[in-house]
Structure 1
Amino acid sequence: MSFKSAITVSLVEEARGGPFVYWDGMQDACEKASALGFDAIEIFAPGPDAVDEAELKGLLEKHDLVVAAVGTGAGMVKHGLSLTNPDADHRAKARDFVKQMIDFGGVYNAPAIIGSMQGKWGGDVSRDQALAYLREALNELGPYAAQHNVPLFYEPLNRYETNLLRTVAEGVEFCKTLDNDNIKLLADLFHMNIEEADLAAAIREGKGYVGHIHFVDSNRQAAGMGHMDHAPIIAALKDIGYDGYLCAEAFALPDSDTAARNTIEAFKRLTA
């Protein structure tokens, strides 16, 4: 069993300054990630047509990289779409956007991630109703992703970003209510640091459900740049048999190159 390293690249100009390491295009990201020894990139794109397929396949081959996952957050950030919006037409558009991103990632055997597009409850939408909308979406989108032989990742977020599901345990319980088993949880250490009493215990509770890790520190900088103790988390991941990616969804602080280098050094140190 071995962990794999990944790093984020954002192509969404509206999100500049957000928690992504590389910002200057696919070629720049692939060259730099490969030079540092990363196994994969995670792509945050404005839409399914933002990347030329032949160009990206060429870059991946040249630099011995794969795509670990693709984000759908631009659906919210750029297009204002939410899977729990009270309007049925809006929700349908949101599901269609996610399907397009599932298809985009599927070309590279990369799962899509549902994070900010899950939305919130409030106003005309009760918590139960919002969760029903989310369940409806995941019951449709999980099997859709399965057509590409990949799971769909659902990410519990911290209380400042959603009021739906915030912990791994809540995510597990929700997954048990779905009528498909193709939804896996994305456990983001930054969100977990806010919501979980014990990150390692939460990982163990997620056995069988955790499919992807966002590998960062307490301040959402590169691992090692905050006050998080990663050793027990890595031990817990080993205990549950996790063999997926540890992906840096981190701020490019003090700059992209330093954040990337700090990440790969922490990855090697912790997983040795």
Structure 2
Amino acid sequence: MFKFAYNTLVYWGEPIEKSIERLAKFGYDGVEFVGEPSMYDTQILRQLLERFGLEAAGICSIYTLERDLASPKEEVRKNALMYLKSVIKMASELGTGVVVDVVPSACMKTVSEAPRNKEIEWVVPAIQEAADYAAELGVRLAIEAWNRYETYFLNRCEQVLDLVHRINRPNVGVWLDTFHMNIEESSIPDAIRLAGKELFYLHIADSNRAAPGRGHIDFKPIIEALKDIGYTGYLSMELLPAAADPFSVLKAGGAEEFYDQYTKESIRYLKSLL
């Protein structure tokens, strides 16, 4: 019914071969890669995926102040579009069915720099151009909502759907995340049902961004909502340490539980609900 992946973003500094081997060992179907094309040789990645019997599930793109599709600075917007196209190319080289994460503004940018209507004028044509390029390569894009502490631009599913409909491309859909939805949505299952067939990808994390089952999110009605809409895509774990700067924790060698322990726990817990 569902397929399972794990975002390798949390395996900080680890050789990708070791990460892929871990996911195969614990029964995952796919790998979510970090959207930094310069980090990888996609030919080697394909060989590793084939060797361990996995597939590329998605690419978690990294949106910084230099990669901001809603920036009032034209050079920043051009750089963001160029970056997005490079991630799309990476996805196409990894195989079919890979979903690329799209967020219209930079991570941790919580205040807009221009009127909303101007931002929409910049964002919509840029994503349309990226989507047309992606369609030529057989790649789908999915726009993600983040919580209010990470972005001002899109926080809820209804906002993502509005933008998706403005973009109006069949290969552009919705990317949801249970951690963000726990903060912003009045009902996570209702948000999933609202996305319906336009839900292309789902990030899984508990309320504390730890492994599912370690916080207070009730995943049973979430699973039921996914069944109701006929979702057959990936449930991909995006787990991070509970810190203002989670990557500083990872860089310092902490959060060891996010490797073998949480990788094993996450898939076992979700499969137990099925």
Scaled by the length of structure 1, the TM-score of the pair is 0.89
Equivalent pair of 1:7/1:260 in contact (CA under 8 Å): yes
User: Gaps (5+ residues) in structure 1?
Assistant: 11-19
1:267 matched to which residue of 2?
A: 270
| Counterpart selection for 1:39 from 4, 29, 32 | 29
1:1-272 alignment runs, 5 A limit: 2-10=1-9, 20-21=10-11, 23-45=13-35, 47-73=36-62, 75-76=63-64, 80-108=66-94, 109=96, 110-115=98-103, 117=105, 122=111, 124-251=113-240, 253=255, 254-271=257-274
1:72 Cα deviation from its structure 2 partner: 1.7
1:247 aligns to what SS in structure 2? strand
Equivalent pair of 2:91/2:139 in contact (CA under 8 Å): no
Scaled by the length of structure 2, the TM-score of the pair is 0.88
Equivalent pair of 2:143/2:164 in contact (CA under 8 Å): no
**Partner amino acid for 1:215?**
I
Taking only aligned residues, the RMSD between alpha carbons, in angstroms, comes to 1.8
Please give the per-residue CA displacement for 1:92-114, whole angstroms capped at 9, x wherever unaligned: 11100100010001112222111
Percent identical residues: 30
Equivalent pairs counted in the alignment come to 257
In 2, Cα distance between the equivalents of 1:215 and 1:30? 19
1:255 Cα deviation from its structure 2 partner: 3.5
Equivalent pair of 2:110/2:148 in contact (CA under 8 Å): no
1:200 aligns to what SS in structure 2? helix
Please give the per-residue CA displacement for 1:149-202, whole angstroms capped at 9, x wherever unaligned: 221011011111111121111111221122323211111000000000010011
In 2, Cα distance between the equivalents of 1:23 and 1:241? 37
Evaluate the alpha carbon distance shift between residue 246 and residue 63 of structure 1 in structure 2; reply closer, same or farther with a 3 A threshold: same
1:124 Cα deviation from its structure 2 partner: 4.2
Evaluate the alpha carbon distance shift between residue 265 and residue 21 of structure 1 in structure 2; reply closer, same or farther with a 3 A threshold: farther
2:245 matched to which residue of 1?
A: none
In 1, Cα distance between the equivalents of 2:106 and 2:53? 33
User: Gaps (5+ residues) in structure 2?
Assistant: 242-254
In 2, Cα distance between the equivalents of 1:190 and 1:116? 19
Evaluate the alpha carbon distance shift between residue 103 and residue 90 of structure 1 in structure 2; reply closer, same or farther with a 3 A threshold: same
Equivalent pair of 1:99/1:141 in contact (CA under 8 Å): yes
Of residues 193-202 and 139-148 in structure 1, the stretch that sits farther from structure 2 once superposed is: 139-148
Equivalent pair of 1:131/1:164 in contact (CA under 8 Å): no
More helix by share: 2
1:206 aligns to what SS in structure 2? helix
1:216 Cα deviation from its structure 2 partner: 1.1
Please give the per-residue CA displacement for 1:29-75, whole angstroms capped at 9, x wherever unaligned: 11110000000010014x323211222111101100111011221x4
Of residues 95-104 and 105-114 in structure 1, the stretch that sits farther from structure 2 once superposed is: 105-114
Evaluate the alpha carbon distance shift between residue 117 and residue 67 of structure 1 in structure 2; reply closer, same or farther with a 3 A threshold: farther
**Partner amino acid for 2:103?**
G
In 1, Cα distance between the equivalents of 2:118 and 2:111? 10
